[in-house]
Amino acid sequence: MKKVITYGTYDLLHSGHINLLRRAKELGDYLIVGLSTDEFNAVKEKKAYHSYEDRKMILEAIRYVDEVIPEQNWEQKVQDVIEHEIDIFVMGDDWEGHFDFLKEYCDVVYLPRTAGISTTKIKQDLLQSRNG
């Protein structure tokens, strides 16, 4: 069985998230998502609308996702790859090069982002329409 892992906050779920999860799943048989905890998001100075538990429940309902694990810090990725016997690490290409250190443990794939959509853009559009 070929195992794939990806990471993210997955707040305000949109088609770009679904495309990434689908393409990540197509690379293997079993997809694990490392979901940033609320505490880790605070460290990253990232504010999520939904709580970790709600984001986890939403991800678990997506057919491409086989397992959700907590992402609690930047450093845990090597341990996760080893512990879960990961074959392929996947991230969006906006992170290109950042995780190449994992090539010692597994294949690293950077997938193109879905054009025209991001959580940041959604938040900006909503704010603009409110202030419009």
Given a contact cutoff of 8 angstroms between Cβ atoms, the answer to whether 9 and 52 are in contact is no
Catalytic residues: 44, 46
**Per-residue pLDDT, 12:** 85
**Per-residue pLDDT, 131:** 72
Query: What backbone torsions phi and psi does residue 109 show, to the nearest 5 degrees?
Result: -125, 130
Examine the pLDDT at 31 and tell me if it is beyond 90.
yes
| Lowest model confidence (mean pLDDT) among 27-31, 43-47, 54-58 | 43-47
To the nearest 5 percent, what fractions of the chain are helix, strand and coil? 45, 20, 35
Given a contact cutoff of 8 angstroms between Cβ atoms, the answer to whether 37 and 72 are in contact is yes
